[in-house]
Amino acid sequence: MKRDMELVRTLLLRAEGVDPMGMVHNVQVEPWSVQEVFEHAEMMTKAGLLKANFSIGPETHLMGLTWEGHDFLDDIRDDGVWSKVKRSLASVGGTASLEVTRQIAVAVVKTQLGLD
């Protein structure tokens, strides 16, 4: 399975909306399969971005974001910033590590804020 940063962003946005006293059960995100969502959420949990429960089959139960997950989402939340990040990634084959993706987003945000 290839990592899909669009799904990563979508799961971060979904997890951010979780009530602190609850969780989103059996997350399904179109057009991705249940298995793709499960595997991405599992990778994101291991990377320290997401809090999730995987105790029931290939179902994903989102419990929220970690501090790092909030920071990364803040870097890529804006649709305009995200579009620029994706365009930059397209110039190198469409994929890069999480850290490189984040550095691109930070550079875009800094430019927009006049901090560059």
pLDDT in tens, 9-19: 999 999 998 87
The reply to whether 67 and 106 lie within a common domain is no
What is the rounded average pLDDT of the residues 75-101? 94
Q: Which helix (H) or strand (E) holds 107?
A: helix 98-113
34-48, 49-63, 79-93, 96-110: the lowest-pLDDT one: 49-63
Q: Across residues 69-81, what is the average pLDDT? A: 96
Span of 8-17, 18-27, 81-90, 98-107 with lowest mean pLDDT: 18-27
Same domain for 89 and 63, yes or no, is no
Pair (18, 52) in one structural domain: yes
What would the pLDDT profile of 18-70 be if each residue is shown by its tens digit?
A: 877 666 666 788 899 988 998 999 999 999 999 988 876 677 888 899 999 99
Contacts 24+ apart (CB under 8 A), 46-53: 47/98, 49/8, 49/12, 50/11, 50/12, 50/15, 51/15, 52/15, 53/23
Domain count along the chain: 2
Residue 11 sits in the same domain as residue 45? yes
Question: What's residue 61's pLDDT?
Answer: 83
| CA angle in degrees (0–180, nearest 5) for 70-102-13 | 35
Same domain, 20 and 67: yes
Q: What is the mean pLDDT of residues 70-99?
A: 94
**pTM exceeds 0.85, yes or no:** yes
Alpha carbons 15 and 33: distance in angstroms, whole number: 17
Q: Are residues 82 and 109 in the same domain?
A: yes
Same domain, 64 and 99: no
Structural domain that includes position 58: 5-71
